[in-house]
Amino acid sequence: MSREITGFSNPLVKRIRSLRDKKHRKREGLFLAEGLRILTEAREEGVLPEMLFHAGQAEEHPLAAALIREMEATGGDVIVTSTDILSKISGKDNPQALVGVYRDRLTPLQRIDRHGADIWIAAQSLRDPGNLGTILRTGDAVGAGGLILLDECVDPFSVEAVRASMGALFTQKIVLARWDEFIFWLRQGPGQLIGTSLKATLDYQEPRYQSPAFLLVGNEAQGLPAAYEAECDLLVKMPMMGKADSLNAAVATAVMAYELLNQKRNRRA
Amino acid sequence: MSREITGFSNPLVKRIRSLRDKKHRKREGLFLAEGLRILTEAREEGVLPEMLFHAGQAEEHPLAAALIREMEATGGDVIVTSTDILSKISGKDNPQALVGVYRDRLTPLQRIDRHGADIWIAAQSLRDPGNLGTILRTGDAVGAGGLILLDECVDPFSVEAVRASMGALFTQKIVLARWDEFIFWLRQGPGQLIGTSLKATLDYQEPRYQSPAFLLVGNEAQGLPAAYEAECDLLVKMPMMGKADSLNAAVATAVMAYELLNQKRNRRA
């Protein structure tokens, strides 16, 4: 059933807008995703928003119309509003025509089936939401099972992370865990823990990686703590031909993840 | 020679602050770089800023002290100021302790020696300054010669691009060119033009790439125009195992660039 909201001071508009803050997201267990592409990605994964805001003309696009129909068929809350109110919700002058409000998508570590994918990515104290979203997007591309966020990472449900993920946060499992919990869980079954380190001497193309592989990514500025590196089954480095000593965290993750995928493809070939 | 500036309304402070806008950067031919790491990277490339702002205590760090000494020895303009004024210049609450003002570092296309590197990166209508800076950083890492910016790309000297490059904009040549100029120049000598495309059927690990290789990256949302793809010597695709059909532009560039580097390493091995 659709309803209309036209007032800026409507309590629902204020409440939805507040989801741009982590504190409110956490309290409500909800987050925002914007734009037809990401909302369609979610729908193709069978995930509908709890609430859908659109500015009327969205219905003209067949994919948007299909989403709205499906929400209405399942009793979802579809709210027709103005572009100005969408601007207010999204904090952007040119808002996307669709904004969805979704329930948090966290998976407990104990519910992860490590055999469900050959590659898993674990990130420690990641600070940049763009990097986090980009890593999710790369995870989707290489067929990873999900992203395990260790220690104090940036919120995976921030608007920036959701946008950078391009919908991959609906296809990748997302886990929050402490390092000791993660290691305890990891060592209860098979799983090769692979870290990248400036101090490593082993080239990243040397080892024959095993599945399931757990790729461990460190904080953007500090890299991995020494104790975490010590726990890795393999510590590798990428060749650095220039003056800089490190890659962007999302880039390093992607170069490693494609090496894992390529080795798997070559074994099968 | 060092001088001190303490007034917020000092005309120099206003002028330097204005370099956060592209219009002013273009008019002055100057840009800002912040932080000891990036300024040291520049110094190691033999590039000193035209002006250096610091908040006094910067001199306590040996690398900062060395930079200040070198600027003073060469008659550079070293300005001691307050943290508040550094905040005003950088637009951040917690500014870096050092801000350098550098002369634009553009290289005309005709001055590029294509044999000077095995890999060159060309980007078309790149929109995101973080992607641009990250691509420069990756270019440095793979030993690329530089980045050729085609059509209307985001400004490589924006504060965000400079920061994301982590200093690589001082090690990579940066060229602005129109597509027709670039193709005319490219075809006057050796050079394999390699594009990535969703429509390609050739896997990116299939070809044996030749040097110098020119890696062509398209706009984040649209990819490459069809006419540009048609001009490529090779059109390749990366395997996509998930739901999404594309990678982040900086990630795709890095995965391709490391494939080029790895093939070169393997030929030599």
Q: How far is A140 from chain B (nearest CA, A)?
A: 5
Interval B205-224 mean pLDDT: 96
B185 and B58 together in one domain = no
Interval B202-228 mean pLDDT: 96
Q: Does the pLDDT of residue A195 top 80, yes or no?
A: yes
| Residue contact B171–A250, C-beta within 8 A | no
**Residue for token pair 């702002």:** B53
Q: Does the pLDDT of residue B57 top 90, yes or no?
A: no
Is residue B118 within 8 angstroms of chain A, CB to CB? Answer: no
User: B73: which 2 tokens?
Assistant: 């020895």
Contacts of B241 in chain A (CB under 8 A): 140-143, 261
Amino acid at A200: A
Is residue B119 within 8 angstroms of chain A, CB to CB? Answer: no
A89 and A168 together in one domain = no
A99 and A140 together in one domain = no
| Residue contact A243–B45, C-beta within 8 A | yes
Q: Tell me the CATH number at B18.
A: 3.30.1330.30
Domain with A48, as residue range(s), is 2-103
**Per-residue model confidence (pLDDT) at position B1:** 62
Of B130, B243, B254, the CB nearest to A254: B254
Is residue A119 within 8 angstroms of chain B, CB to CB? Answer: no
Q: How far is A7 from chain B (nearest CA, A)?
A: 33
Is residue B70 within 8 angstroms of chain A, CB to CB? Answer: no
| Sheet strand arrangement including A77-80 | A2-4, A77-80, A51-54, A98-103, A30-34
SS3 A149: strand
pLDDT in tens, A11-63: 999 999 999 999 999 999 999 999 999 999 999 999 999 999 998 877 788 99
| Residue contact B251–A250, C-beta within 8 A | yes
Q: Of B103, B127, B144, which one is at a domain's C-terminal end?
A: B103
Q: Does the pLDDT of residue B269 top 70, yes or no?
A: no
Is residue A205 within 8 angstroms of chain B, CB to CB? Answer: yes
Determine the angle formed by the axes of helices B36-44 and B62-73, rounding to 10 degrees: 50
Q: Model pTM?
A: 0.94
A244 and A118 together in one domain = yes
A96 and A225 together in one domain = no
Most confident of A5-9, B80-84, B145-149: B145-149
pLDDT in tens, B151-199: 999 999 999 999 999 999 999 999 999 999 999 999 999 999 999 998 8
Of B44, B140, B242, the CB nearest to A141: B242
What confidence tier does B251 reach under pLDDT thresholds 50, 70, 90?
very high
pLDDT in tens, A214-231: 999 999 999 999 999 999
Q: How far is A146 from chain B (nearest CA, A)?
A: 12
Comparison of pLDDT for B259 and A88, the residue scoring more: B259
- Indicate the DSSP class of residue A114: G
**Bridge-partner residues for B40, per DSSP?**
none
A16 and A116 together in one domain = no
Q: How far is B105 from chain A (nearest CA, A)?
A: 17
Rounded to whole angstroms, the Cα distance separating A77 from A242 reads 54
Residue A151's Cβ-side half-sphere holds a number of Cα atoms within 13 Å equal to: 14
Is residue B255 within 8 angstroms of chain A, CB to CB? Answer: yes
Of B140, B205, B250, the CB nearest to A243: B140
Return all residues near A225 (Cβ < 8 A) that are at least 6 apart.
A124, A218
Comparison of pLDDT for A32 and A7, the residue scoring more: A32
| Residue contact B137–A251, C-beta within 8 A | yes
Is residue A141 within 8 angstroms of chain B, CB to CB? Answer: yes
- Which H helix or E strand runs over A217? strand A213-217
Is residue B47 within 8 angstroms of chain A, CB to CB? Answer: no
Q: How far is A171 from chain B (nearest CA, A)?
A: 7
pLDDT in tens, A135-177: 999 999 999 999 999 999 999 999 999 999 999 999 999 999 9
B141 and B174 together in one domain = yes
Question: Contact A204/A238 with Cβ under 8 angstroms?
Answer: yes
A184 and A239 together in one domain = yes
The alpha helices in chain B, defined as continuous H runs, are 11-18, 22-28, 36-44, 62-73, 83-90, 129-141, 159-165, 179-186, 226-231, 249-268
Return all residues near A237 (Cβ < 8 A) that are at least 6 apart.
A196, A197, A198, A200, A201, A202, A203, A204
Instruction: Decide the pairing of beta strands B51-54 and B98-103.
Output: antiparallel
Q: Of B103, B123, B149, which one is at a domain's C-terminal end?
A: B103
Contacts of B205 in chain A (CB under 8 A): 262
B48 and B172 together in one domain = no
Rounded to whole angstroms, the Cα distance separating A173 from A246 reads 28
Q: Give me the interface pTM, i.e. the ipTM.
A: 0.93
Q: Of A54, A73, A103, which one is at a domain's C-terminal end?
A: A103
Contacts of A164 in chain B (CB under 8 A): 248
Rounded to whole angstroms, the Cα distance separating B135 from B252 reads 10
Cβ–Cβ pairs < 8 A, chains A and B: 115
User: A103: which 2 tokens?
Assistant: 């329930």
Determine the angle formed by the axes of helices B83-90 and B11-18, rounding to 10 degrees: 40
A67 and A169 together in one domain = no
Question: Does residue B212 have a cis peptide bond before it, meaning omega lies within 30 degrees of 0?
Answer: yes
What confidence tier does A1 reach under pLDDT thresholds 50, 70, 90?
low
Contacts of B164 in chain A (CB under 8 A): 248
Rounded to whole angstroms, the Cα distance separating B55 from B98 reads 7
A95 and A113 together in one domain = no
Rounded to whole angstroms, the Cα distance separating B193 from B216 reads 7
Of A134, A254, A262, the CB nearest to B205: A262
User: A5: which 2 tokens?
Assistant: 């909201």
Q: What is the mean pLDDT of chain A?
A: 94
B120 and B95 together in one domain = no
Q: How many domains does chain A have?
A: 2
| Residue contact B243–A205, C-beta within 8 A | no
